[in-house]
Amino acid sequence: MSEDAKNIIVDLCVIGAGSAGLSVASGVVQLGLDVALIEKSKMGGDCLNTGCVPSKALLAAAKAAQVMRTSDKYGIAEQEPDIDFNAVKTHVSDVIKVIEPHDSVERFEGLGVKVIKGAAAFTSAHTVQVGEQTITARYFVISTGSRAAIPPIEGLDPDKILTNENIFELREKPDHLIIVGGGPIGIEMAQAHKRLGCKVTVLDMGSILPHDDPDLTAVVRDSLDNEGVRLLENIKIEKIAHAEKGVRVYVEKDGEQNAIDGSHLLIAAGRQVNVDGLELEKAGIVYDRRGIQVDARLRTNHKHIYAAGDVAGGPQFTHVAGYHAGIIIRNMIFKTPAKIDYKALPWVTYTDPELANVGMTESKAREKYGDSIKVVKWKFKENDRATAERRTDGMIKVVTRKNGKILGAAIVGPHAGELIGVWVLAISKGLKIGAITGMIVPYPTFGEISKRAAGAFYTASLFSDRTRKIVGLLQKLPF
């Protein structure tokens, strides 16, 4: 690494210290290259500070409260929890603090990374400017992530709303939280806040969780309904009026207009990539509103400049950012033509019950293969462990070709995010469903549901008249 007060020359410059950027920087520096890492805000990016980590910590607190309300089914007296909302948020911030050191400036400087705090702007295809410093590099990785998109609704004041970037800092409990957006973020926050004692209304112009299988989404919807979350789907938001304390949202559904009054408004209506201020035009980097345009190797139109994570315009998940980092390192460092492949990409909505998916949904499979697919299902109410724990809501659905090749799987139920792993492996390795039926699964576990669903694929043929005839003939043979 060559540097003076204002000029730094490195092998790799990473812009953005979120999940993708940190993974690339730590991997490359430990392989012996000089690395500079630029971050204008907090190390760890969205996932650590305003996304995955705080949301799951909040959901854990909400689940603890719900257990107290529903313990009577186990013979234990239920009671309404005494919730200290401020203390819950302290729990959330404490969880972040525990994980922070792994993503800290100190750790990365200890690895040998030159960490530069400030906003980066390209001045050419080989240089960026941060304040008065110029960084020149052989390679660049742009991993600046995304932020909450603010929809163009009449009257909406961005300074008077909550997003994932500030809701976890809110120390006062909302009396009535109105959420615009029924995607994973909106639905997770809806259930969490309802369980923590808030009134909650979710507004969406379509159906909630639109990218998931409708059969499984229905289970989550029923759970939210039963817990008292108000879901208003397929509505139009006409305008928003902010008051000194509170907000009024005017909506229209089926020709009928209504006004909904709330204390707080959370906007969870999609994401917007962070490219502002990067001066990508000065480097000649091609991008649009969806993100920086990359090829299957995550290279921009300049072969030495890569983009990773949300800003690359693909699926917006932390585990995708980590996956991107591996693809880039293999291309940049080991010179292997590694390409992205999302056929075995899992995604999870961490509601209770959880909703997990990998591969194709039934509708997507039918679009591509028509009727030459087979769908098998198995319900948690037929799982002994689920029965023992009285957590029987939910099911697994597996989509295959007629020859048994697995195309996709979806699970809604307890621990769905953990249970989906076996199907991720099966799809990534191109396995047929017989590989799952051949597993020995411990009893009693929730994991048995995968083996039982796989076995259901063969039920019709195994117990058919033809099989009975074959068995009859085999029984006539000598020992």
- CA pair distance 216, 278, nearest whole angstrom: 41
Residue 250 has pLDDT above 80, yes or no: yes
- CA pair distance 439, 456, nearest whole angstrom: 14
Average pLDDT over residues 65-86: 97
Q: Burial code of 418-434, b = ≥16 C-beta within 10 A, e = fewer?
A: ebbebbbebbeeebbbe
pLDDT band at 469 (very low <50, low <70, confident <90, very high): confident
As to burial, measured by CB atoms within 10 angstroms (0-12 exposed, 13-18 middle, 19+ buried), residue 402 is exposed
pLDDT band at 389 (very low <50, low <70, confident <90, very high): very high
**Confidence (pLDDT) at 6:** 84
Average pLDDT over residues 171-184: 98
- CA pair distance 130, 5, nearest whole angstrom: 12
pLDDT band at 461 (very low <50, low <70, confident <90, very high): low
Fold of domain 158-270: FAD/NAD(P)-binding domain (3.50.50)
What mean pLDDT value characterizes the chain?
Answer: 95
Residue 82 has pLDDT above 70, yes or no: yes
* Residue 249 CB contacts under 8 Å (≥ 6 apart), including other chains: 178, 180, 203, 237, 240, 241, 259, 260, 262, 265
Residue 395 has pLDDT above 70, yes or no: yes
CA-nearest of 443, 440, 449 to 416 is 449
**Confidence (pLDDT) at 475:** 79
pLDDT band at 97 (very low <50, low <70, confident <90, very high): very high
Average pLDDT over residues 427-446: 96
**Confidence (pLDDT) at 262:** 98
- CA pair distance 241, 76, nearest whole angstrom: 46
Average pLDDT over residues 428-438: 95
**Confidence (pLDDT) at 440:** 96
**Confidence (pLDDT) at 462:** 59
- pLDDT tens column, 254-269: 899 999 999 999 999 9
**Confidence (pLDDT) at 463:** 60
- pLDDT tens column, 196-217: 999 999 999 999 999 999 999 9
* Region 346-462: CATH code: 3.30.390.30
Q: How far is CA 70 from the centre of its chain?
A: 28
User: Can you tell me whether residue 215 is helix, strand or coil?
Assistant: helix
Residue 159 has pLDDT above 70, yes or no: yes
* pTM reported for the whole predicted model: 0.94
pLDDT band at 464 (very low <50, low <70, confident <90, very high): low
Residue 3 has pLDDT above 80, yes or no: no
**Confidence (pLDDT) at 130:** 98
Any idea which architecture 2-43+104-148+272-332 has in CATH? Answer: 3-Layer(bba) Sandwich (3.50)
Q: CATH topology of 2-43+104-148+272-332 equal to that of 158-270?
A: yes
- CA pair distance 323, 344, nearest whole angstrom: 12
Record the tokens describing residue 103, joined without a space.
Answer: 């993503």
CA-nearest of 10, 1, 271 to 120 is 10
CA-nearest of 289, 277, 318, 326 to 46 is 318
- For the chain, which residues make up each domain, given as ranges? 2-43+104-148+272-332, 158-270, 346-462
CA-nearest of 189, 228, 227, 182 to 205 is 182
Quote the radius of gyration of the chain (alpha carbons, Å): 25
Reply yes or no: is the peptide bond before residue 158 cis, omega within 30 of 0. no
As to burial, measured by CB atoms within 10 angstroms (0-12 exposed, 13-18 middle, 19+ buried), residue 341 is exposed
- pLDDT tens column, 305-352: 999 999 999 999 999 999 999 999 999 999 999 999 999 999 999 999
**Confidence (pLDDT) at 2:** 59
Report which DSSP code applies to 476: T
Report the percent of the chain where pLDDT is more than 90: 93
- CA pair distance 2, 453, nearest whole angstrom: 59
- Phi, then psi, of 440 in degrees rounded to 5: -95, 115
2-16, 161-175, 188-202, 416-430: least confidently modelled range:
2-16
Average pLDDT over residues 272-290: 97
